[in-house]
């Protein structure tokens, strides 16, 4: 059965609405004020299907009550509201609709009008919520699949390099932590994690023998290595569903002082996510095994990050990385 709450300071109006709706098998709760409604919903924990809300009431009028409801109810738990009013001024109706009311029912109340609008709005609200749940479920499935595909691709990239294991995942993890500490939303943290996972995707286009060469690279070989940001950008820009995915791939080797590659960007010309990934990438490079050295001591790594502030790295994100290092008393942030 459908459950409707009618809020009106006049007893006659409450009884009229209740009598009409109960004749058609509605459950009706009648309340006399906005504060009573707030207590009914948020203290007693009730969740009706629809609220019929009078506008002109003492203490809190209908608009103030609706504003308070919007502040307290998350979007996914919102309850449709229909205003009851004897006011014939169009501005009143427009104000209510702009606030998010589903409809207006004018007084005196006619049974057929009340029943038609209440039934229609409850049915529309249920349809909307059902569709939202379905979309959310499908989105979660797609996100899970996308994350799995990205993770698999990142592992394939790392497998090209004999001397690193899990580099992409660690860079993604450090990047997400820096973003979190800087104040990114959870969604934005997830985005930068995905960017970090694929920051080296362009290495797919670099020959394995160059990536794994133990000695010094020739100029030609180094030029091949330096091409991987452009290759990565070209690959990831084709993923139209995730337009920001290529940011880390193209610009993680840019430097804050403008001496990086491939575009020689400087300072805030470099997109913020790329500045974060650049710090995370450099940190992991120093704390991973290489063909020519072991993992660097923590104090050496810290010194290099400190030295790179304002030149190689954005000083804000370098400071956050330094904070993470200082908290890592047992030096656990490195390649296993």
pLDDT tens for residues 213-251? 877 888 888 888 899 999 889 888 877 777 888 999 999
What pLDDT, on the 0 to 100 scale, is given for residue 221?
A: 86
CATH superfamily of domain region 160-327: Hypothetical protein af1432 (1.10.3210.10)
Which pLDDT score is estimated for 248?
94
Contacts of 74 (CB under 8 A, 6+ apart): none
pLDDT at 153: 74
3-state secondary structure the chain: CCEEEEECCCHHHHHHHHHHHHCCCCEEEEECCHHHHHHHHHHCCCCCCEEEEECCCCCCCHHHHHHHHHHHCCHHHCCCEEEEECCCCHHHHHHHHHHCCCEEEECCCCHHHHHHHHHHHHHHHHHHHHHHHHHHHHHHHHHHHHHHHHHHHHHHHHHCCCCCCCHHHHHHHHHHHHHHHHCCCHHHHHHHHHHHHCCCHHHHHCCHHHHCCCCCCCHHHHHHHHCHHHHHHHHHCCCCCCCCCHHHHHHCCCCCCCCCCCCCCCHHHCCHHHHHHHHHHHHHHHCCCECCECCCCHHHHHHHHHHCECCCECHHHHHHHHHHHHHCCCCCCCCC
**How far lies 173's CA from each of 6, 256, 276, in Å?**
51, 22, 11
Q: How far apart are CA 213 and CA 61, in angstroms?
A: 75
* pLDDT given at position 27: 96
Per-residue model confidence (pLDDT) at position 143: 60
Residues forming the active site = 203
CATH 1.10.3210.10 spans which residues of the chain? 160-327
What is the structure's pLDDT at 129? Answer: 77
> Which CATH number among 3.40.50.720, 3.40.50.2300, 3.40.30.10, 3.40.190.10 corresponds to the domain 3-132?
3.40.50.2300
What residues in the chain have per-residue pLDDT under 70?
A: 131-149, 162-164, 291
pLDDT (0 to 100) of residue 157? 76
**pLDDT tens figures, 44-93:** 999 999 999 999 999 899 999 999 999 998 877 889 999 998 877 778 88
The pLDDT assigned to 137 comes to 62
Name every residue whose Cβ is closer than 8 Å to that of residue 167 and which is 6 or more positions away in sequence: 158, 161, 200, 284, 288, 335
Instruction: Report pLDDT for 28.
Output: 96
pLDDT the model gives residue 268: 95
At residue 335, the pLDDT reads: 86
CATH 3.40.50.2300 placement within the chain = 3-132
């Amino acid at each position: 059965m459908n459950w409707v709450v009618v809020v009106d300071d006049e007893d006659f109006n409450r009884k009229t609405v209740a009598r009409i709706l109960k004749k058609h098998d509605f459950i009706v709760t009648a309340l006399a004020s906005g504060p009573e409604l707030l207590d009914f919903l948020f203290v007693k924990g009730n969740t009706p299907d629809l609220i019929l809300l009078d506008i002109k009431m003492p203490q809190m009028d209908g608009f103030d009550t609706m504003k308070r409801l919007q502040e307290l109810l998350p979007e996914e738990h919102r309850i449709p509201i229909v205003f009851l009013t004897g006011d014939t001024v169009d501005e009143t109706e427009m104000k209510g609709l702009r606030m998010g009311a589903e409809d207006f029912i004018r007084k005196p109340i006619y049974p057929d009008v009340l029943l038609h609008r209440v039934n229609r709005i409850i049915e529309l609200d249920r349809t909307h919520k059902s569709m939202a749940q379905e979309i959310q479920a499908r989105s979660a499935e797609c996100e899970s699949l996308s994350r799995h595909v990205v993770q698999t691709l990142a592992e394939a990239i790392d497998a090209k390099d004999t001397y690193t294991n899990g580099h992409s995942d660690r860079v993604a993890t450090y990047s997400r932590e820096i973003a979190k500490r800087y104040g990114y939303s959870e969604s934005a943290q997830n985005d930068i994690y995905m960017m970090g996972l694929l920051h080296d995707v362009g290495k797919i286009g670099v020959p394995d023998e160059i990536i794994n060469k133990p000695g010094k690279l020739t100029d030609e070989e180094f030029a091949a290595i330096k091409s991987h940001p452009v290759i990565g950008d070209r690959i990831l820009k084709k993923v139209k569903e995730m337009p920001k995915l290529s940011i880390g791939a193209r610009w993680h080797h840019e430097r804050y002082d403008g001496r990086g590659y491939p575009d020689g960007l400087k300072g805030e010309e470099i997109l913020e996510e790329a500045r974060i990934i650049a710090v995370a990438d450099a940190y992991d490079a120093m704390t991973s095994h290489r063909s020519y050295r072991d993992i660097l001591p923590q104090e050496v790594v810290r010194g290099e990050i400190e030295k790179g502030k304002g030149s190689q790295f954005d000083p804000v994100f370098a400071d956050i990385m330094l904070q993470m290092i200082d908290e890592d008393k047992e030096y656990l942030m490195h390649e296993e």
